[in-house]
A and B are shown apart, each in its own frame.
Chain A
Amino acid sequence: MKDRFDILLGVLLLSCAVAIVGLLAGSGSQASQRDLALDKALEQEIAYQAKVSFLERVYAPVIELRAQGQNESALLKLDELSRQYPAEAHGELLRGEILLQFGAKQKAIAHLARAVRMNGDYVDRHSPLSRRELIDPLLDRELVEMKQQADANPESSTVRAALKDLYYLQGRMAGGCE
Protein backbone atom coordinates (compact mmCIF):
# COMPACT_ATOMS: atom_id res chain seq x y z
CA MET A 1 0.00 0.00 0.00
CA LYS A 2 1.68 3.19 -1.16
CA ASP A 3 -0.86 5.96 -0.55
CA ARG A 4 -4.39 6.60 0.67
CA PHE A 5 -5.95 5.60 -2.65
CA ASP A 6 -4.19 2.22 -2.47
CA ILE A 7 -5.51 1.76 1.07
CA LEU A 8 -9.02 2.70 -0.07
CA LEU A 9 -8.82 0.18 -2.92
CA GLY A 10 -7.56 -2.49 -0.50
CA VAL A 11 -10.44 -1.90 1.91
CA LEU A 12 -13.00 -1.96 -0.93
CA LEU A 13 -11.49 -5.15 -2.30
CA LEU A 14 -11.69 -6.80 1.10
CA SER A 15 -15.34 -5.70 1.37
CA CYS A 16 -16.06 -7.26 -2.03
CA ALA A 17 -14.45 -10.55 -0.93
CA VAL A 18 -16.49 -10.62 2.28
CA ALA A 19 -19.66 -9.76 0.33
CA ILE A 20 -19.07 -12.56 -2.20
CA VAL A 21 -18.58 -15.15 0.55
CA GLY A 22 -21.63 -13.84 2.43
CA LEU A 23 -23.84 -13.79 -0.66
CA LEU A 24 -22.72 -17.25 -1.74
CA ALA A 25 -23.31 -18.62 1.75
CA GLY A 26 -26.77 -17.01 1.75
CA SER A 27 -27.56 -18.45 -1.68
CA GLY A 28 -27.56 -21.93 -0.13
CA SER A 29 -30.49 -21.13 2.15
CA GLN A 30 -33.94 -22.46 1.28
CA ALA A 31 -35.53 -18.99 1.12
CA SER A 32 -32.86 -17.82 -1.27
CA GLN A 33 -33.31 -20.91 -3.44
CA ARG A 34 -37.03 -20.13 -3.68
CA ASP A 35 -36.28 -16.57 -4.72
CA LEU A 36 -33.79 -17.68 -7.35
CA ALA A 37 -35.92 -20.62 -8.53
CA LEU A 38 -32.57 -22.15 -9.44
CA ASP A 39 -31.80 -25.54 -8.00
CA LYS A 40 -30.54 -27.47 -10.96
CA ALA A 41 -29.80 -30.53 -8.84
CA LEU A 42 -33.44 -30.73 -7.79
CA GLU A 43 -34.59 -30.20 -11.38
CA GLN A 44 -32.30 -33.01 -12.50
CA GLU A 45 -33.56 -35.33 -9.77
CA ILE A 46 -37.19 -34.61 -10.64
CA ALA A 47 -36.51 -35.25 -14.34
CA TYR A 48 -34.79 -38.52 -13.48
CA GLN A 49 -37.55 -39.72 -11.17
CA ALA A 50 -40.08 -38.77 -13.85
CA LYS A 51 -38.14 -40.84 -16.38
CA VAL A 52 -38.08 -43.86 -14.07
CA SER A 53 -41.85 -43.54 -13.48
CA PHE A 54 -42.42 -43.12 -17.21
CA LEU A 55 -40.46 -46.30 -17.97
CA GLU A 56 -42.36 -48.22 -15.30
CA ARG A 57 -45.66 -47.03 -16.75
CA VAL A 58 -44.80 -47.62 -20.42
CA TYR A 59 -43.30 -51.07 -19.86
CA ALA A 60 -45.84 -52.18 -17.22
CA PRO A 61 -47.76 -54.37 -19.73
CA VAL A 62 -44.53 -56.21 -20.60
CA ILE A 63 -43.75 -56.81 -16.93
CA GLU A 64 -47.30 -58.02 -16.39
CA LEU A 65 -47.17 -60.46 -19.30
CA ARG A 66 -43.84 -61.79 -18.00
CA ALA A 67 -45.31 -62.25 -14.53
CA GLN A 68 -48.11 -64.32 -16.12
CA GLY A 69 -45.50 -66.45 -17.89
CA GLN A 70 -46.50 -65.14 -21.34
CA ASN A 71 -42.99 -64.34 -22.54
CA GLU A 72 -43.85 -64.62 -26.28
CA SER A 73 -46.62 -62.04 -25.86
CA ALA A 74 -44.22 -59.86 -23.87
CA LEU A 75 -41.77 -59.94 -26.79
CA LEU A 76 -44.56 -58.93 -29.20
CA LYS A 77 -45.50 -56.07 -26.89
CA LEU A 78 -41.84 -55.01 -26.82
CA ASP A 79 -41.82 -54.97 -30.65
CA GLU A 80 -44.78 -52.63 -30.56
CA LEU A 81 -43.18 -50.37 -27.95
CA SER A 82 -39.83 -50.29 -29.73
CA ARG A 83 -41.57 -48.86 -32.81
CA GLN A 84 -42.98 -46.12 -30.60
CA TYR A 85 -39.76 -45.48 -28.62
CA PRO A 86 -36.89 -46.69 -30.83
CA ALA A 87 -34.15 -44.94 -28.84
CA GLU A 88 -35.24 -46.23 -25.44
CA ALA A 89 -32.79 -48.60 -23.74
CA HIS A 90 -35.30 -50.14 -21.35
CA GLY A 91 -36.95 -52.16 -24.11
CA GLU A 92 -33.54 -53.59 -25.04
CA LEU A 93 -32.93 -54.55 -21.44
CA LEU A 94 -36.29 -56.28 -21.03
CA ARG A 95 -35.83 -58.10 -24.34
CA GLY A 96 -32.41 -59.28 -23.13
CA GLU A 97 -33.92 -60.56 -19.88
CA ILE A 98 -36.66 -62.49 -21.70
CA LEU A 99 -34.27 -63.99 -24.26
CA LEU A 100 -32.02 -65.06 -21.41
CA GLN A 101 -34.98 -66.91 -19.87
CA PHE A 102 -35.53 -68.60 -23.24
CA GLY A 103 -31.89 -69.69 -23.27
CA ALA A 104 -31.05 -67.60 -26.36
CA LYS A 105 -27.84 -66.48 -24.71
CA GLN A 106 -26.03 -64.80 -27.58
CA LYS A 107 -29.02 -62.69 -28.55
CA ALA A 108 -29.73 -61.87 -24.92
CA ILE A 109 -26.15 -60.73 -24.37
CA ALA A 110 -26.33 -58.51 -27.47
CA HIS A 111 -29.51 -56.80 -26.21
CA LEU A 112 -28.18 -56.36 -22.68
CA ALA A 113 -24.92 -54.83 -23.97
CA ARG A 114 -26.90 -52.48 -26.24
CA ALA A 115 -29.07 -51.43 -23.29
CA VAL A 116 -25.99 -50.62 -21.18
CA ARG A 117 -24.40 -48.71 -24.07
CA MET A 118 -27.55 -46.60 -24.32
CA ASN A 119 -28.00 -46.11 -20.58
CA GLY A 120 -25.20 -46.64 -18.06
CA ASP A 121 -27.68 -46.66 -15.18
CA TYR A 122 -28.12 -50.41 -15.63
CA VAL A 123 -24.62 -51.06 -14.25
CA ASP A 124 -24.83 -48.34 -11.64
CA ARG A 125 -24.94 -49.32 -7.98
CA HIS A 126 -26.92 -46.20 -7.04
CA SER A 127 -29.60 -46.29 -9.73
CA PRO A 128 -33.12 -47.67 -9.26
CA LEU A 129 -32.70 -49.11 -12.78
CA SER A 130 -29.57 -51.06 -11.79
CA ARG A 131 -29.33 -54.63 -13.15
CA ARG A 132 -25.96 -55.50 -11.65
CA GLU A 133 -27.49 -58.52 -9.91
CA LEU A 134 -28.50 -59.87 -13.35
CA ILE A 135 -25.31 -59.01 -15.25
CA ASP A 136 -22.76 -60.10 -12.65
CA PRO A 137 -23.73 -63.80 -12.51
CA LEU A 138 -24.26 -63.75 -16.29
CA LEU A 139 -20.63 -62.73 -16.73
CA ASP A 140 -19.45 -65.39 -14.27
CA ARG A 141 -21.29 -68.09 -16.21
CA GLU A 142 -20.96 -67.02 -19.80
CA LEU A 143 -17.46 -65.58 -20.10
CA VAL A 144 -15.76 -68.93 -19.65
CA GLU A 145 -18.27 -70.76 -21.80
CA MET A 146 -18.18 -68.18 -24.59
CA LYS A 147 -14.35 -68.19 -24.60
CA GLN A 148 -14.41 -71.97 -24.99
CA GLN A 149 -16.94 -71.67 -27.81
CA ALA A 150 -14.82 -69.00 -29.50
CA ASP A 151 -11.75 -71.27 -29.26
CA ALA A 152 -13.71 -74.18 -30.69
CA ASN A 153 -15.30 -72.09 -33.50
CA PRO A 154 -12.80 -69.37 -34.39
CA GLU A 155 -14.73 -68.59 -37.59
CA SER A 156 -18.06 -67.94 -35.86
CA SER A 157 -18.81 -64.23 -36.03
CA THR A 158 -21.84 -64.53 -33.71
CA VAL A 159 -19.75 -66.12 -30.95
CA ARG A 160 -17.07 -63.46 -31.41
CA ALA A 161 -19.69 -60.70 -31.24
CA ALA A 162 -21.19 -62.20 -28.06
CA LEU A 163 -17.72 -62.45 -26.49
CA LYS A 164 -17.02 -58.83 -27.40
CA ASP A 165 -20.32 -57.78 -25.79
CA LEU A 166 -19.46 -59.78 -22.66
CA TYR A 167 -16.07 -58.04 -22.43
CA TYR A 168 -17.85 -54.72 -22.81
CA LEU A 169 -20.24 -55.57 -19.97
CA GLN A 170 -17.31 -56.81 -17.86
CA GLY A 171 -15.50 -53.48 -18.40
CA ARG A 172 -18.58 -51.49 -17.45
CA MET A 173 -19.15 -53.59 -14.34
CA ALA A 174 -15.52 -52.97 -13.33
CA GLY A 175 -16.33 -49.27 -13.07
CA GLY A 176 -13.81 -46.57 -13.92
CA CYS A 177 -14.36 -43.17 -15.40
CA GLU A 178 -16.88 -42.93 -18.25
Chain B
Amino acid sequence: MRLVLRDPHTWLVMLAGGLLGLAGVMLALLGNPQNSGICVSCFLENSAGALGLHDNARMQYLRPELIGFVLGSTLAAVGFREFSSKGGSAPLPRLLSGVFLIVGCSVFIGCPIKLFLRLAAGDLTTLTGLLGLVGGVWLGLKGLAAGVDLGRAKKKPDGSGLWTPLLFVLLLLFLFIRPGFVLFSERGSAAEAAPILIALGIGLLLGAAAQRTRFCVTGGLRDLMIMGMRAPLFWGFIVFVLVAFAAGLATGTFNLGFYGQPGAHLDLLWSFFGMLLVGSVSVLIGGCPFRQLIKAGEGDADAGLVVIGMFLGAGLVQAWQIAGTAAGVPVYGKIAVVLGLAFILMNLLFFRERAAA
Protein backbone atom coordinates (compact mmCIF):
# COMPACT_ATOMS: atom_id res chain seq x y z
CA MET B 1 0.00 0.00 0.00
CA ARG B 2 2.85 2.38 0.84
CA LEU B 3 4.45 1.69 -2.52
CA VAL B 4 1.31 2.55 -4.46
CA LEU B 5 0.91 5.81 -2.55
CA ARG B 6 4.49 6.78 -3.44
CA ASP B 7 3.65 6.52 -7.14
CA PRO B 8 2.81 10.00 -8.60
CA HIS B 9 0.32 8.33 -10.96
CA THR B 10 -1.73 7.17 -7.96
CA TRP B 11 -1.98 10.79 -6.77
CA LEU B 12 -3.04 11.86 -10.24
CA VAL B 13 -5.78 9.21 -10.22
CA MET B 14 -6.85 10.36 -6.76
CA LEU B 15 -6.96 13.95 -7.98
CA ALA B 16 -9.18 12.89 -10.90
CA GLY B 17 -11.43 10.95 -8.49
CA GLY B 18 -11.65 13.99 -6.21
CA LEU B 19 -12.55 16.26 -9.13
CA LEU B 20 -15.26 13.84 -10.26
CA GLY B 21 -16.78 13.64 -6.76
CA LEU B 22 -16.72 17.41 -6.32
CA ALA B 23 -18.11 18.08 -9.80
CA GLY B 24 -20.87 15.50 -9.23
CA VAL B 25 -22.18 17.42 -6.22
CA MET B 26 -21.48 20.93 -7.54
CA LEU B 27 -23.22 20.38 -10.89
CA ALA B 28 -26.39 19.37 -9.01
CA LEU B 29 -26.12 22.55 -6.94
CA LEU B 30 -25.64 24.56 -10.13
CA GLY B 31 -28.86 23.26 -11.65
CA ASN B 32 -28.55 19.62 -12.72
CA PRO B 33 -31.13 17.23 -11.21
CA GLN B 34 -30.57 16.29 -7.55
CA ASN B 35 -28.04 13.46 -7.07
CA SER B 36 -27.55 13.55 -10.84
CA GLY B 37 -24.76 16.08 -11.16
CA ILE B 38 -22.95 13.54 -13.28
CA CYS B 39 -24.75 10.56 -14.76
CA VAL B 40 -23.59 9.27 -18.12
CA SER B 41 -26.74 7.22 -18.75
CA CYS B 42 -29.10 10.07 -17.79
CA PHE B 43 -27.08 12.46 -19.95
CA LEU B 44 -27.28 10.02 -22.85
CA GLU B 45 -31.06 9.61 -22.41
CA ASN B 46 -31.43 13.41 -22.38
CA SER B 47 -29.19 13.81 -25.43
CA ALA B 48 -30.90 10.98 -27.34
CA GLY B 49 -34.20 12.76 -26.70
CA ALA B 50 -32.75 16.07 -27.87
CA LEU B 51 -31.76 14.38 -31.14
CA GLY B 52 -35.28 12.97 -31.59
CA LEU B 53 -34.46 9.35 -30.71
CA HIS B 54 -37.36 9.27 -28.23
CA ASP B 55 -40.40 11.43 -27.57
CA ASN B 56 -40.37 11.84 -23.79
CA ALA B 57 -40.74 15.62 -23.67
CA ARG B 58 -39.36 15.69 -20.11
CA MET B 59 -36.04 14.05 -21.09
CA GLN B 60 -34.67 16.12 -23.97
CA TYR B 61 -31.50 18.14 -23.54
CA LEU B 62 -28.12 17.99 -25.25
CA ARG B 63 -26.01 17.70 -22.10
CA PRO B 64 -22.82 19.78 -22.46
CA GLU B 65 -20.98 17.61 -19.91
CA LEU B 66 -21.29 14.59 -22.22
CA ILE B 67 -19.76 16.51 -25.12
CA GLY B 68 -17.06 17.78 -22.77
CA PHE B 69 -16.10 14.28 -21.60
CA VAL B 70 -15.37 13.09 -25.15
CA LEU B 71 -13.74 16.26 -26.47
CA GLY B 72 -11.73 16.77 -23.26
CA SER B 73 -10.37 13.27 -23.69
CA THR B 74 -9.55 13.98 -27.35
CA LEU B 75 -7.74 17.21 -26.51
CA ALA B 76 -5.70 15.53 -23.76
CA ALA B 77 -4.89 12.53 -25.97
CA VAL B 78 -3.79 14.77 -28.83
CA GLY B 79 -1.84 17.05 -26.48
CA PHE B 80 0.06 14.15 -24.94
CA ARG B 81 0.48 12.33 -28.28
CA GLU B 82 -1.67 9.42 -27.18
CA PHE B 83 -4.39 9.76 -29.79
CA SER B 84 -4.35 6.70 -32.00
CA SER B 85 -7.02 5.08 -34.12
CA LYS B 86 -7.65 1.48 -33.22
CA GLY B 87 -10.53 -0.94 -33.44
CA GLY B 88 -11.88 -4.04 -35.13
CA SER B 89 -12.68 -6.16 -32.08
CA ALA B 90 -16.15 -7.77 -32.11
CA PRO B 91 -17.99 -4.70 -33.47
CA LEU B 92 -21.58 -5.94 -33.27
CA PRO B 93 -21.32 -7.41 -29.75
CA ARG B 94 -19.80 -4.10 -28.64
CA LEU B 95 -22.63 -2.11 -30.22
CA LEU B 96 -25.19 -4.31 -28.44
CA SER B 97 -23.17 -4.08 -25.23
CA GLY B 98 -23.66 -0.32 -25.42
CA VAL B 99 -27.42 -0.83 -25.72
CA PHE B 100 -27.51 -3.19 -22.73
CA LEU B 101 -25.27 -0.94 -20.63
CA ILE B 102 -27.96 1.71 -20.85
CA VAL B 103 -30.73 -0.82 -20.24
CA GLY B 104 -29.07 -1.82 -16.95
CA CYS B 105 -28.36 1.78 -15.96
CA SER B 106 -31.86 2.99 -16.79
CA VAL B 107 -33.51 0.22 -14.77
CA PHE B 108 -31.35 1.18 -11.78
CA ILE B 109 -31.76 4.92 -12.63
CA GLY B 110 -28.14 5.89 -13.10
CA CYS B 111 -24.71 4.85 -14.28
CA PRO B 112 -22.03 3.53 -11.88
CA ILE B 113 -20.83 7.11 -11.22
CA LYS B 114 -24.35 8.12 -10.21
CA LEU B 115 -24.67 4.98 -8.08
CA PHE B 116 -21.83 6.25 -5.90
CA LEU B 117 -23.05 9.86 -6.00
CA ARG B 118 -26.44 8.61 -4.78
CA LEU B 119 -24.82 6.41 -2.13
CA ALA B 120 -22.56 9.25 -0.97
CA ALA B 121 -25.70 11.43 -0.67
CA GLY B 122 -27.21 8.89 1.73
CA ASP B 123 -29.51 7.05 -0.69
CA LEU B 124 -29.65 3.56 0.79
CA THR B 125 -31.76 2.17 -2.08
CA THR B 126 -28.47 2.00 -4.01
CA LEU B 127 -27.10 -0.76 -1.75
CA THR B 128 -28.53 -3.60 -3.82
CA GLY B 129 -27.32 -1.84 -6.96
CA LEU B 130 -23.84 -1.75 -5.41
CA LEU B 131 -24.04 -5.47 -4.67
CA GLY B 132 -25.17 -6.07 -8.25
CA LEU B 133 -22.32 -3.98 -9.67
CA VAL B 134 -19.73 -5.83 -7.57
CA GLY B 135 -21.33 -9.15 -8.58
CA GLY B 136 -21.28 -8.13 -12.24
CA VAL B 137 -17.61 -7.15 -12.11
CA TRP B 138 -16.84 -10.47 -10.38
CA LEU B 139 -18.79 -12.40 -13.07
CA GLY B 140 -17.00 -10.54 -15.85
CA LEU B 141 -13.63 -11.21 -14.25
CA LYS B 142 -14.47 -14.90 -13.85
CA GLY B 143 -15.27 -14.92 -17.56
CA LEU B 144 -11.99 -13.26 -18.50
CA ALA B 145 -10.10 -15.68 -16.25
CA ALA B 146 -11.88 -18.58 -17.97
CA GLY B 147 -10.61 -17.45 -21.35
CA VAL B 148 -13.34 -15.14 -22.61
CA ASP B 149 -11.84 -12.60 -24.99
CA LEU B 150 -13.62 -10.32 -27.45
CA GLY B 151 -10.36 -10.06 -29.39
CA ARG B 152 -7.66 -7.43 -29.39
CA ALA B 153 -8.15 -4.11 -31.10
CA LYS B 154 -5.73 -3.39 -33.95
CA LYS B 155 -4.08 -0.08 -34.72
CA LYS B 156 -5.78 1.56 -37.67
CA PRO B 157 -3.92 3.98 -39.87
CA ASP B 158 -7.22 4.97 -41.53
CA GLY B 159 -8.38 7.50 -38.96
CA SER B 160 -11.49 5.53 -37.99
CA GLY B 161 -10.98 6.66 -34.39
CA LEU B 162 -11.70 10.24 -35.44
CA TRP B 163 -15.37 9.65 -36.10
CA THR B 164 -16.62 9.67 -32.52
CA PRO B 165 -14.83 12.93 -31.60
CA LEU B 166 -16.15 14.44 -34.87
CA LEU B 167 -19.68 13.33 -34.00
CA PHE B 168 -19.35 15.15 -30.68
CA VAL B 169 -18.00 18.26 -32.44
CA LEU B 170 -21.23 18.18 -34.45
CA LEU B 171 -23.23 17.84 -31.21
CA LEU B 172 -21.32 20.83 -29.83
CA LEU B 173 -22.39 22.83 -32.88
CA PHE B 174 -25.99 21.69 -32.33
CA LEU B 175 -25.77 22.82 -28.69
CA PHE B 176 -24.89 26.38 -29.62
CA ILE B 177 -26.66 26.76 -32.99
CA ARG B 178 -29.81 24.90 -31.91
CA PRO B 179 -31.25 23.78 -35.27
CA GLY B 180 -35.03 23.28 -35.36
CA PHE B 181 -34.87 19.48 -35.09
CA VAL B 182 -32.95 19.51 -31.79
CA LEU B 183 -35.26 19.53 -28.77
CA PHE B 184 -34.74 21.11 -25.37
CA SER B 185 -37.22 20.25 -22.61
CA GLU B 186 -39.08 23.06 -20.90
CA ARG B 187 -40.26 20.75 -18.11
CA GLY B 188 -39.08 17.69 -16.23
CA SER B 189 -35.58 16.67 -15.18
CA ALA B 190 -34.05 17.59 -18.55
CA ALA B 191 -35.10 21.20 -17.96
CA GLU B 192 -32.89 21.20 -14.87
CA ALA B 193 -29.39 22.05 -16.02
CA ALA B 194 -26.22 23.82 -14.94
CA PRO B 195 -25.22 26.83 -17.07
CA ILE B 196 -23.98 25.59 -20.46
CA LEU B 197 -20.46 27.01 -20.40
CA ILE B 198 -19.78 25.86 -16.85
CA ALA B 199 -21.14 22.37 -17.61
CA LEU B 200 -19.07 22.18 -20.79
CA GLY B 201 -15.94 23.42 -19.00
CA ILE B 202 -16.34 20.87 -16.20
CA GLY B 203 -16.96 18.15 -18.80
CA LEU B 204 -13.78 19.08 -20.68
CA LEU B 205 -11.74 19.11 -17.47
CA LEU B 206 -13.08 15.74 -16.32
CA GLY B 207 -12.66 14.24 -19.79
CA ALA B 208 -9.01 15.33 -19.89
CA ALA B 209 -8.37 14.14 -16.31
CA ALA B 210 -9.98 10.77 -17.01
CA GLN B 211 -7.96 10.37 -20.21
CA ARG B 212 -4.70 11.01 -18.36
CA THR B 213 -5.56 8.70 -15.45
CA ARG B 214 -7.76 6.02 -17.12
CA PHE B 215 -10.30 6.65 -14.35
CA CYS B 216 -13.13 4.11 -14.39
CA VAL B 217 -15.57 3.06 -11.65
CA THR B 218 -15.88 -0.59 -12.69
CA GLY B 219 -12.15 -0.57 -13.46
CA GLY B 220 -11.50 0.47 -9.86
CA LEU B 221 -13.59 -2.44 -8.56
CA ARG B 222 -11.99 -4.83 -11.05
CA ASP B 223 -8.48 -3.78 -10.04
CA LEU B 224 -9.38 -4.11 -6.37
CA MET B 225 -10.41 -7.71 -6.99
CA ILE B 226 -7.23 -8.45 -8.95
CA MET B 227 -4.57 -6.36 -7.20
CA GLY B 228 -6.10 -5.50 -3.84
CA MET B 229 -5.10 -2.19 -2.27
CA ARG B 230 -2.16 -1.82 -4.65
CA ALA B 231 -4.46 -0.67 -7.46
CA PRO B 232 -4.19 3.10 -8.18
CA LEU B 233 -7.68 3.13 -9.72
CA PHE B 234 -9.11 1.83 -6.46
CA TRP B 235 -7.59 4.76 -4.58
CA GLY B 236 -9.00 7.18 -7.12
CA PHE B 237 -12.38 5.55 -6.68
CA ILE B 238 -12.16 5.84 -2.87
CA VAL B 239 -11.28 9.54 -3.10
CA PHE B 240 -14.18 10.07 -5.52
CA VAL B 241 -16.67 8.60 -3.02
CA LEU B 242 -15.16 10.39 0.00
CA VAL B 243 -15.11 13.79 -1.72
CA ALA B 244 -18.71 13.36 -2.93
CA PHE B 245 -19.72 12.38 0.62
CA ALA B 246 -17.91 15.35 2.18
CA ALA B 247 -19.30 17.77 -0.42
CA GLY B 248 -22.81 16.42 0.19
CA LEU B 249 -22.40 16.96 3.94
CA ALA B 250 -20.94 20.44 3.47
CA THR B 251 -23.68 21.57 1.11
CA GLY B 252 -26.51 20.05 3.12
CA THR B 253 -27.67 17.67 0.39
CA PHE B 254 -26.85 14.53 2.41
CA ASN B 255 -30.03 12.69 3.39
CA LEU B 256 -29.61 9.19 4.81
CA GLY B 257 -32.47 6.78 4.23
CA PHE B 258 -34.44 4.53 1.94
CA TYR B 259 -37.44 6.79 1.40
CA GLY B 260 -38.03 10.06 -0.37
CA GLN B 261 -34.74 9.87 -2.24
CA PRO B 262 -34.54 11.79 -5.53
CA GLY B 263 -34.48 9.71 -8.71
CA ALA B 264 -34.73 6.40 -6.87
CA HIS B 265 -37.15 3.48 -6.59
CA LEU B 266 -37.73 0.66 -4.16
CA ASP B 267 -37.56 -2.23 -6.66
CA LEU B 268 -34.34 -3.26 -4.96
CA LEU B 269 -34.09 -6.66 -6.64
CA TRP B 270 -34.21 -5.06 -10.09
CA SER B 271 -31.65 -2.47 -9.03
CA PHE B 272 -29.42 -5.45 -8.27
CA PHE B 273 -30.02 -7.10 -11.64
CA GLY B 274 -29.67 -3.83 -13.55
CA MET B 275 -26.26 -3.16 -12.04
CA LEU B 276 -25.25 -6.82 -12.35
CA LEU B 277 -25.76 -6.37 -16.08
CA VAL B 278 -23.79 -3.09 -16.13
CA GLY B 279 -20.89 -4.55 -14.12
CA SER B 280 -20.51 -7.68 -16.24
CA VAL B 281 -20.83 -5.85 -19.58
CA SER B 282 -18.33 -3.20 -18.43
CA VAL B 283 -15.66 -5.74 -17.55
CA LEU B 284 -16.16 -7.62 -20.80
CA ILE B 285 -15.77 -4.51 -22.99
CA GLY B 286 -13.11 -2.85 -20.84
CA GLY B 287 -14.82 -0.05 -18.94
CA CYS B 288 -17.93 1.58 -17.55
CA PRO B 289 -20.07 3.95 -19.69
CA PHE B 290 -17.90 6.93 -18.66
CA ARG B 291 -14.71 5.11 -19.60
CA GLN B 292 -16.19 4.15 -22.98
CA LEU B 293 -16.72 7.87 -23.73
CA ILE B 294 -13.13 8.65 -22.74
CA LYS B 295 -11.71 5.78 -24.82
CA ALA B 296 -13.81 6.83 -27.80
CA GLY B 297 -12.35 10.32 -27.40
CA GLU B 298 -8.80 9.03 -27.62
CA GLY B 299 -9.39 7.21 -30.92
CA ASP B 300 -10.76 3.81 -29.87
CA ALA B 301 -13.29 3.00 -32.59
CA ASP B 302 -14.50 -0.06 -30.62
CA ALA B 303 -15.44 2.22 -27.73
CA GLY B 304 -16.97 4.55 -30.35
CA LEU B 305 -19.29 1.73 -31.37
CA VAL B 306 -20.22 1.19 -27.72
CA VAL B 307 -21.04 4.91 -27.52
CA ILE B 308 -23.28 4.65 -30.60
CA GLY B 309 -24.93 1.62 -28.97
CA MET B 310 -25.41 3.62 -25.78
CA PHE B 311 -27.14 6.41 -27.75
CA LEU B 312 -29.37 3.81 -29.41
CA GLY B 313 -30.12 2.21 -26.04
CA ALA B 314 -30.81 5.62 -24.51
CA GLY B 315 -33.47 6.23 -27.15
CA LEU B 316 -34.97 2.76 -26.77
CA VAL B 317 -35.23 2.73 -22.97
CA GLN B 318 -37.38 5.85 -23.10
CA ALA B 319 -39.37 4.97 -26.22
CA TRP B 320 -40.14 1.39 -25.09
CA GLN B 321 -40.81 2.19 -21.41
CA ILE B 322 -37.83 0.18 -20.24
CA ALA B 323 -36.38 2.82 -17.91
CA GLY B 324 -37.13 2.63 -14.21
CA THR B 325 -38.89 5.57 -12.58
CA ALA B 326 -39.59 6.57 -8.98
CA ALA B 327 -42.71 4.37 -9.28
CA GLY B 328 -40.56 1.29 -9.95
CA VAL B 329 -39.32 -0.80 -12.84
CA PRO B 330 -41.80 -1.41 -15.68
CA VAL B 331 -42.28 -4.96 -16.92
CA TYR B 332 -40.49 -4.16 -20.20
CA GLY B 333 -37.52 -3.00 -18.13
CA LYS B 334 -37.42 -6.33 -16.31
CA ILE B 335 -37.65 -8.24 -19.59
CA ALA B 336 -34.88 -6.10 -21.12
CA VAL B 337 -32.57 -6.75 -18.15
CA VAL B 338 -33.12 -10.51 -18.39
CA LEU B 339 -32.44 -10.29 -22.14
CA GLY B 340 -29.25 -8.38 -21.33
CA LEU B 341 -28.13 -11.03 -18.87
CA ALA B 342 -28.82 -13.70 -21.51
CA PHE B 343 -26.77 -11.63 -23.98
CA ILE B 344 -23.84 -11.56 -21.55
CA LEU B 345 -24.05 -15.28 -20.83
CA MET B 346 -24.11 -16.04 -24.57
CA ASN B 347 -21.06 -13.83 -25.14
CA LEU B 348 -19.27 -15.56 -22.27
CA LEU B 349 -19.99 -18.86 -24.01
CA PHE B 350 -19.22 -17.81 -27.59
CA PHE B 351 -16.07 -15.78 -26.98
CA ARG B 352 -14.42 -18.27 -24.65
CA GLU B 353 -11.15 -19.71 -25.82
CA ARG B 354 -11.02 -23.18 -24.38
CA ALA B 355 -7.82 -25.11 -23.83
CA ALA B 356 -7.45 -27.95 -26.34
CA ALA B 357 -8.50 -31.29 -24.82
Q: Which residues of A contact B (CB under 8 A)?
A: 20-21, 24-25, 27-28, 33, 36, 38-42, 44-45, 48, 117, 120-121, 124, 126-127, 167-168, 170-178
7 contacts between A and B (CB under 8 A): A20-B170, A21-B173, A120-B58, A124-B188, A127-B187, A174-B34, A175-B189
Give residues 93-142 of B contacting A (CB, 8 Å).
109-110, 114
Q: Interface size for chain B: under 10, 10 to 19, 20 to 34, or 35 or more residues? A: 35 or more
Which of chain A's residues has its CB closest to B35's CB?
A176
Q: Can you list, as one digit per residue, whether each of B180-218 has a CB less than 8 Å from chain A (1) or not (0)? A: 111110111101100000000000000000000000000
Q: Any chain A CB within 8 A of the CB of B177? A: yes
The 4 closest A-B pairs by CB, nearest first: A176-B263, A176-B262, A170-B260, A174-B262
Which of chain A's residues has its CB closest to B55's CB?
A44
Rounded to whole Å, the gap between the CB of A143 and the closest CB of chain B is 8
Which of chain B's residues has its CB closest to A114's CB?
B327
Which of chain A's residues has its CB closest to B45's CB?
A177
Would A176 and B34 count as touching, CB distance under 8 A?
Answer: yes
* B39: chain A residues within 8 A (beta carbon): 177
Among A25, A45, A171, A175, find the residue whose CB has the most chain B CB atoms closer than 10 A: A171
* A120: chain B residues within 8 A (beta carbon): 58, 187-188
Would you call the interface of chain A mostly helix, strand, loop, or mixed? helix
Q: Any chain A CB within 8 A of the CB of B147? A: no
* B262: chain A residues within 8 A (beta carbon): 171, 174-176
Q: Any chain A CB within 8 A of the CB of B57? A: yes
* B170: chain A residues within 8 A (beta carbon): 20
* A117: chain B residues within 8 A (beta carbon): 325, 327
Q: Any chain A CB within 8 A of the CB of B349? A: no
Q: Any chain A CB within 8 A of the CB of B326? A: yes
* B184: chain A residues within 8 A (beta carbon): 41
Would A41 and B180 count as touching, CB distance under 8 A?
Answer: yes
Would A178 and B263 count as touching, CB distance under 8 A?
Answer: yes
Q: Any chain A CB within 8 A of the CB of B8? A: no
Give residues 258-310 of B contacting A (CB, 8 Å).
259-266
Would B326 and A168 count as touching, CB distance under 8 A?
Answer: yes
Q: Any chain A CB within 8 A of the CB of B179? A: yes
* A28: chain B residues within 8 A (beta carbon): 177-180
* A170: chain B residues within 8 A (beta carbon): 259-260
Would A45 and B189 count as touching, CB distance under 8 A?
Answer: no
Give Cα A168–Cα B260 distance, bound, in whole angstroms: 7
Q: Can you list, as one digit per residue, whether each of B251-263 has a CB less than 8 Å from chain A (1) or not (0)? A: 0000000011111
Give residues 133-189 of B contacting A (CB, 8 Å).
170, 173-174, 177-184, 186-189
Give Cα A40–Cα B51 distance, bound, in whole angstroms: 11
Would B259 and A177 count as touching, CB distance under 8 A?
Answer: no
Give Cα A100–Cα B33 distance, bound, in whole angstroms: 30
Which of chain B's residues has its CB closest to A129's CB?
B187
Would B326 and A124 count as touching, CB distance under 8 A?
Answer: no
Q: Any chain A CB within 8 A of the CB of B23? A: no
* B58: chain A residues within 8 A (beta carbon): 120, 124, 178
